[in-house]
Structure 1
Amino acid sequence: MSFNTQLTRLLGIRTPVILPPMAFAAGALLASQVHMAGGFGFLSPTYSGTDAFEREFALARMLLGQPTGALPLGAGFLGWKLDADPAHAALLDVALAHGVRCVWLSFGADLTRWVERVRAHDSTTLVAIQVNSAAEALHAARTWKADIIVAQGIEAGGHGAASAPPLLNLLPQVLRALTVLPAPPPVLAAGGLTSGAHLAAVLALGASGGVFGTRFLATPAALYTPAQKAALLAAPAGAAVRSRAFDALRGTLGWPAGVDGRALAMPAAEAYDGGAPLEDARRVLEDGVRTGDPRAQIVWAGTGVGEVTELQPAKDIVRELHDDAAAHLRASYALLQE
């Protein structure tokens, strides 16, 4: 059985399960495995230069058996990084040269320049725009003619707008806003999704697919370290919190206003949020690293982290999400007929 949504038709995939571009986590191996299982995977740049990114694409070509031509994978880029760093813009050019199927853009004050760069390179390359409000979604669809809208709720791991509503509020808002268009693009739901039941729920609400970030971090193919994966698997429900402390500790402060991150709670972040000077919070982090405290590491994760309890191959995750979502949708349909 295959799903039939606007997204699956657009991308030619069997299952509306999307691996997002997660820095230092989603590389060629994971993206390729998701693709081969029937979903769609995005690579994230390694931030180690164009040579390292070229090696990722070489690995993808080897895994997929496609030495030349376009690749059935995507790549994601941060707008503010593209604006600030020519080296990051060069990574976008690498992805375009390899013929990625879709470019995912997010967190830019004005993404026009980068959307136009993608369009100018190849009119067949799709553009996905991540948004945190209905107004942003309508702007992306009208102004940039986005091929895919990614509606990211406050539950998402990693970075997002602190003002974003919960996904179950945001998704209907975005879908309703887009109805004014003659041909609305497909909408992906992102934020806290971990199960087939979640996928079935967002499809029932009108999404064309679901984005599963945290779930795919707990795979052998993810680039997270063994310690980060162990922390994810051990984390209870409620362990992922939003804060600007994580970026303050890392020194990554170029994010647009209003953007913060969600990661596993850690003593250093708690100290910073409690009013400790940054130097003191970093000292807490250094002390934790020195003593081997597993909480002395930044582990990005969404609110569904407590439901991710085992390390699984990516293909098994895609198959499980597909089968469980199908079963839930069949059950819902049967209930409607009673």
Structure 2
Amino acid sequence: MAMESVSFNTPIIDLFGIRLPIVAGGLMWLSDANYVAAASRAGVMGFITAASFPELPALRAEIRRCRELCQGGSFGVNVSMLPKLVEGEQTQAVFAAIAEEGVRFVETSGRSPEAYLPMLHSAGIKVLHKVPNLRFAIKAAELGVDAVSIVGAECGGHPGLDLIGSFVQAAWAKSHITLPYLIGGGVGEGSQIAAALAMGASGVVIGTRFLVAEEIWAHADYKRQLIASQPTDTQLCMQSIRNTVRVLRNQTSEAVVALEASMAEVRIEDLLPLVSGKIGRNAYATGDWSQGLLSAGQSLAFVDRIEPVASIVSRLEQELLQALERLHRIAGEPRQSTGSFTTSIRKGL
């Protein structure tokens, strides 16, 4: 079967104008123009993390650099909002800068984007909102976002409080929302993309699998530790303050869990000396992976080498096509007859 001739056309591909149904999710401190543009050139979607550039002139400069490096390809900006609006927060100004720079796509997470949707949509910006549970996806759809990412319990970063797995959420969402949706959390192999499409998703969001990309500026020692790690080498922290995060198991994560267990009532102020984002950024810079809360998901199972983003995407694509070939054989279709299968892909699974 000539699987290399298959062209994909899901709603997410149409929305972003990309070649494959893959979104490279925003990675705090790491998603810069080099990485995002590499994703774009490889035919997938990427987002600069606005929080990695807290000064607006620096964010504007990174957006402009990314646009040049993308060579006409799609890219966006990730805006991760705190659960509640706090005094001095720059979210409104960040969105205004993004709109002024002509960015066409935004990935939001944290609290509801409702207050900013009129401004973003009036600027022609499409909004992908990331949630950890189907119930939040339903709410986001009601608010009028353009697409949602639903990340399961396996994801690195924030999997929410309910810890529902990606496999369940992928199929569950199909009967509850008509909005295009992505599935993330533990996704790092092409066969999982095929499964997500078969269950009704328009694509997948991948984070951990891309952490070892050459274009990620983090130290090689950190990347080598990810390659040496297993899915069991992640740990859940900060559940005591209802801000659960899945990270690489290290001295800091163990200390956080121990502190949480030792106190009857934990406050964020008690954890800040351990969980400050600056500690994690320093770990990326120095390669000392023992310090800081370093987001990592269970797709560490598939992290096996340092290579360019384009090579990772190519491997995912080949694995996806191989999975579709297996399904084709299971369905008992004649190998010489490829038309019906290819057509079904082009219409969107």
Conservation of the 8 A alpha-carbon contact between 2:253 and 2:292: no
Match of 2:34 among 23, 29, 32: 29
Distance of 2:314 and 2:272 partners within structure 1: 46
Deviations 1:133-184 (A, max 9, x none): 2221111112x21211111101110123021300111122222111xxxxx2
CA-based RMSD of the aligned residues comes to 2.7
| Cα offset, 1:34, TM superposition | 0.8
Counterpart pick for 1:116 among 88, 109, 118: 118
Cα distance, 1:47 vs. partner?
3.6
When residues 228 and 62 of structure 1 are mapped into structure 2, their CA distance, relative to the original with a 3 A threshold, is: same
1:185 to 179, 190, 198: 179
Aligned equivalents of 1:223, 1:58: Cα separation in 2: 19
Q: Tell me, which stretches of 5 or more residues in structure 2 are unaligned?
A: 1-5, 264-269, 334-349
* Seq. identity, %: 24
Conservation of the 8 A alpha-carbon contact between 1:237 and 1:303: yes
* 1:215 Cα deviation after fit: 0.9
Partner of 1:296: 291
Q: Within 5 Å, which residues of 2 pair with 1:293-332? A: 294-332=289-327
Q: Structure 1, unaligned stretches of length 5 or more? A: 179-183, 249-256
- 1:14 pairs with 19, 33, 50, which one? 19
How far apart in 2 are the matches of 1:230 and 1:97?
39
| Secondary structure in structure 2 of the residue aligned to 1:104 | strand
Report if the CA contact (8 A) 2:246-2:295 is conserved: yes
Query: Residues 228 and 299 of structure 1 are in contact (CA less than 8 Å); yes or no, is this contact kept in structure 2?
Result: no
1:100-133 Cα offsets, whole Å, 9 max, x none, are 222111110x42112223123x1x3111111222
Answer yes or no: is the 8 Å Cα contact 2:231–2:301 preserved in 1. yes
Aligned-partner Cα distance in 1 for 2:273–2:200: 43
* Mapped pair 1:216 → 2:210: yes
Count of aligned positions? 310
Provide the residue aligned with 1:254 in structure 2.
Answer: none
Partner of 1:258: 242
TM-score normalised to structure 2 length: 0.81
Distance 1:116 1:259, change over 3 A: farther
After TM superposition, the structure 1 = structure 2 runs for residues 135-284 of structure 1, keeping only pairs within 5 Å, are: 135-142=135-142, 144-178=143-177, 184-244=178-238, 258-274=242-258, 275=261, 282=274
8 Å CA contact 1:237, 1:307 repeated in 2: no
Q: SS of the residue aligned with 1:127?
A: strand
Equivalent-residue separation in structure 2 for 1:279 and 1:101 (angstroms): 37
Instruction: Indicate yes or no: 2:126 matched with 1:126.
Output: yes
Q: Say if 2:48 is the partner of 1:53.
A: no
1:2-23 superposed Cα distances (whole Å, 9 cap, x missing partner): 2121211222211111111111
Query: Match for residue 95 of structure 1?
Result: 98
Runs (4 or more) in structure 1 with deviation over 4 Å come to 276-282
The 1:146/1:312 distance shift into structure 2, 3 A limit, reads same
Match status 1:43 vs 2:48: yes
Q: Deviation of residue 81 (structure 1)?
A: 7.3
In the superposition, relative to structure 1, how do residues 3 and 65 fare at CA in structure 2: closer, same or farther (>3 Å)?
closer
Residue range with higher mean Cα deviation, 29-38 or 40-49: 40-49
Q: Secondary structure at the match of 1:100?
A: coil
Deviations, residues 197-245 of structure 1 (Å, cap 9, x unaligned): 1111111111111111001111121133334323212212311111118
Shift of 1:42: 1.1
TM-score (norm 1): 0.83
